[in-house]
Amino acid sequence: MPNNEFIRVDYDRRRRVVIDGSSNGFTNETITVSRGPHRVTLGVPVNYEPAFRKPTVTGTTPGNPMPLEFTRTGE
């Protein structure tokens, strides 16, 4: 478990979160990931920005996940 890290993808609606090409949880919830770099998107439709985030996740806890914010750009 020492390689577990945590992110929270903030978005104004519930969407699936895609991490490194695979669905892995939902927006506005804490998601467990491995330590290191990841490519995070909200999948399709791409009606949000930025199109992706590429954080290097380290030093997080379940109570203090790394926040990643996306903003809706259209319907």
The CATH code of the domain that includes 54 is 2.60.40
The count of domains in the chain is 1
pLDDT tens track for 7-60: 999 999 999 999 999 999 999 999 999 999 999 999 999 999 999 999 999 999
Looking at residue 24, what is its pLDDT?
95
- 10 within 8 A of 67, measured Cβ to Cβ: yes
Instruction: Kindly tell me if the per-residue pLDDT of 1 is higher than 60.
Output: no
Domain that holds residue 19: 4-72
- 22 within 8 A of 53, measured Cβ to Cβ: no
Residue among 12, 9, 14, 13 at smallest CA distance from 52: 9
pTM of the model: 0.92
- 13 within 8 A of 39, measured Cβ to Cβ: no
Looking at residue 2, what is its pLDDT?
64
